Chains A and B, each alone.
Chain A
Amino acid sequence: MSSTEFYGRRQQFFREWRVLWDVHGLDTLLGGVYVLPGFYFFRDVGFSQIYDVIVPFILASFVAGYLAFAVYAPQTQGKTLPFYFSLPRARTPTWDAHLAYLVCAVLWIEGAILIGVLFKLGGAGMTPHYRLHPEAFALPFLAMAAVAAYTHVQNTTRNVIVFLLVAVAFVVGLFFWLDTGFLEGAAKTNNYFPPRGFDLSHQGALAALLLIVSGYTLLRVRVHWQRRQVGEIR
């Protein structure tokens, strides 16, 4: 293989995936396992005909955030940055390959959740109907985008405050969503079959909005990374 082929875009892409798999493969695989205990928390076993699959997706958000940090932080910050910078690889294609890996990792984790739904993990007593919420699928992507953004910016006081505010807003939004979306619990009046708090179309719109925000954040991070001079004093 000539040098041109060895360092061609296609070879670079697969090389980045191999490297990420070698370093983070086990964490990625286990990420699909770590979210499954979420089926066993905060559920009305034997009391409701509906099980809203939420907690596994919240756990998936933490796993996605962790993976994003593990992949991006060494390459963008601190004493490890010069090592990764000096590797012979094209900057933007490398970043794209890493993003593609993380997206696939999130899809794997969400696939694991769907497998858990298929096997009705956490169900007992009354046969539960497992109810999925579109916006829950977007949460891990949002977490991944937020952590990617955090790892790429300077650790200035302003940026730390901004991210703390974003984290607080996210938690507040999460509680609002949990509270408003699942207001009506299981009761005799609704035959222990509580309805969705929001209309499915509204949930779909919320999911789309969260995915758009995630995508836009990642695009801004990409552009920032393309322009950033890594040797600047930080």
Chain B
Amino acid sequence: MNVIEMENAHRFFGSVAAVDNLSLVVPKGSVFGLLGENGSGKTTSIKLMMGALIPQEGTVQIFGIDPVGMAPETRARIAYVADEMALPGWMRLSEAMKLHASYFEQWDEKMALDRLRMYELALDQTFGTLSKGQQRRFLLTLALAQLPELLILDEPAAGLDVAVRREFLDTLMELANEREVTILLSSHILSDVERVVDHVAFTKKGRLVLQANLEDLKVQVKRLCFAAPPEETALGTHFNVLSTSREGDAFQAMVDDFAPEKLDGWDCQVEHLNLEELFLLYNTPRETEKNP
């Protein structure tokens, strides 16, 4: 069952296609990474999912419902934390907690207070006096305490230092392991995200480049390193070659349908690609490079 379904969604701002024929599905219980460079349409996609924007074409559904004008009882199942999100600076944390809690039938007060103690945030502090990291932690605490089924995070770790980012992502992993919460996480910091996501979608200029289970992707997409270049046509009959590169006699090929039995006696090193390398592979134009 899919929690989020976008089908052929289009959203323009003037003549600029922020989201261009985007289709993706977010499976229930997954930790889904919506990944792309700045300006690739991640935030606009999330705004379409939240119902903050209406697609000019195509459909968006959350829990099988159009998010625009979503009933409050359904909206309560979704928690949302964005990079550009804040509370009024004058508002005390205690006031903010009381305000937020009043909108949810289920509210884990104990968890919220435990987290604030862990973060060393005092309830009588005002939101405006918190650092960016502390603000983000507080907003995440509010989101988690409402016990959501779907947690949408738009660049949640942007602008935070390494330690805070790590701790933030550890919290997400803990959440994903303990409760069946679907998490959609958008980011351009791929090294962070790799630790937590199990599904990924790469976007570029508002379009979907790839959507896949990350483990499957890592199993299938490999870098083959040959000491001596094999015959390329032979390689092409065994694998779907995405790109090749040559440095002197050394030859590398990126393939997306790797299986050990396909190596057919070739002497090569098989290298795994990390998320960043996978992202670059699919987001840069494919060409065969030959060094002089």
- Tell me if B99 and A23 are in contact (CB < 8 A): yes
Kindly state whether residue B103 has any CB partner on chain A within 8 Å: yes
CA distance A128 to B53 in the complex (A): 59
- Tell me if B72 and A83 are in contact (CB < 8 A): no
- Tell me if A229 and B50 are in contact (CB < 8 A): no
CA distance A89 to B76 in the complex (A): 9
Kindly state whether residue B104 has any CB partner on chain A within 8 Å: yes
- Tell me if B80 and A86 are in contact (CB < 8 A): yes
Taking A1-B105, A88-B103 as known contacts, 11 extra A-B pairs with beta carbons closer than 8 A to each other, sorted by chain A number, are A3-B73, A22-B98, A78-B86, A80-B87, A82-B82, A83-B85, A85-B50, A88-B73, A88-B74, A90-B72, A229-B53
Chain B contacts of A91 at CB under 8 A? 69
Kindly state whether residue A189 has any CB partner on chain B within 8 Å: no
Chain A contacts of B85 at CB under 8 A? 79-80, 82-83
CA distance A61 to B28 in the complex (A): 52
Chain B contacts of A90 at CB under 8 A? 71-72
Kindly state whether residue A4 has any CB partner on chain B within 8 Å: yes
Known: A23-B95, A87-B103, A231-B52. A82 touches B80 (CB 8 A): yes
Instruction: Please list the residues of chain B having a beta carbon within 8 angstroms of any beta carbon in chain A.
Output: 13, 44, 47-48, 50, 52-54, 69, 71-76, 78-80, 82, 84-88, 91, 95, 98-100, 102-105, 139
Known: A3-B73, A4-B73, A7-B73. A83 touches B53 (CB 8 A): no
How distant is B63 from chain A, measured CB to nearest CB, in Å?
A: 13
CA distance A128 to B162 in the complex (A): 71
Chain B contacts of A89 at CB under 8 A? 72, 75, 103
Chain B residue at smallest Cβ distance from A232? B53
Q: Across the A-B interface, how many residue pairs have beta carbons closer than 8 Å?
A: 78
How many chain A residues touch B (CB < 8 A): the figure is 29
Chain A contacts of B52 at CB under 8 A? 82, 85, 229-231
Chain B contacts of A7 at CB under 8 A? 71-73, 76
Contact of A22 among B53, B99, B105 (CB under 8 A): B99
Contact of B50 among A1, A6, A231 (CB under 8 A): A231
Chain A residue at smallest Cβ distance from B46? A231
Contact of A80 among B53, B78, B88 (CB under 8 A): B88
Of all A-B residue pairs in the complex, the 5 with the closest CB atoms, nearest first, are A231-B52, A231-B47, A88-B76, A79-B86, A88-B75
Interface residues of A in 65-82 (CB under 8 A from B): 74, 78-80, 82
Chain A residue at smallest Cβ distance from B105? A6
Chain A contacts of B50 at CB under 8 A? 85-86, 231
- Tell me if A231 and B76 are in contact (CB < 8 A): no
Known: A85-B50, A231-B47. A12 touches B84 (CB 8 A): no
Chain B contacts of A85 at CB under 8 A? 50, 52
Contact of A82 among B48, B72, B78, B84 (CB under 8 A): B84
How distant is B62 from chain A, measured CB to nearest CB, in Å?
A: 12
Chain B residue at smallest Cβ distance from A74? B88
How distant is A152 from chain B, measured CB to nearest CB, in Å?
A: 16
Known: A7-B71, A88-B72, A88-B73. A18 touches B78 (CB 8 A): no
How distant is A143 from chain B, measured CB to nearest CB, in Å?
A: 21
Known: A18-B102, A80-B87, A86-B50. A233 touches B13 (CB 8 A): yes
Kindly state whether residue A15 has any CB partner on chain B within 8 Å: yes
How distant is B42 from chain A, measured CB to nearest CB, in Å?
A: 13
- Can you list 10 pairs linking A and B with CB atoms under 8 Å apart? A3-B105, A7-B71, A19-B102, A82-B52, A82-B82, A86-B80, A88-B73, A90-B71, A229-B54, A231-B50
Binary CB contact string for chain A from 80 to 105 against chain B (1 if under 8 A, 0 otherwise)? 10110111111100000000000000
How distant is B123 from chain A, measured CB to nearest CB, in Å?
A: 14
Binary CB contact string for chain A from 1 to 35 against chain B (1 if under 8 A, 0 otherwise)? 10110110000100100110011000000000000
CA distance A233 to B39 in the complex (A): 13
Chain A contacts of B13 at CB under 8 A? 232-233
Chain B contacts of A78 at CB under 8 A? 86
Chain A contacts of B95 at CB under 8 A? 22-23
CA distance A90 to B91 in the complex (A): 23
- Tell me if A83 and B98 are in contact (CB < 8 A): no
Known: A229-B52, A229-B53, A231-B53. A83 touches B86 (CB 8 A): yes
Chain B contacts of A4 at CB under 8 A? 73
How distant is B292 from chain A, measured CB to nearest CB, in Å?
A: 46
How distant is B185 from chain A, measured CB to nearest CB, in Å?
A: 16
- Tell me if A12 and B53 are in contact (CB < 8 A): no
CA distance A7 to B70 in the complex (A): 12
How distant is A24 from chain B, measured CB to nearest CB, in Å?
A: 11
Chain B residue at smallest Cβ distance from A85? B52
Known: A83-B85, A232-B53. A23 touches B91 (CB 8 A): yes
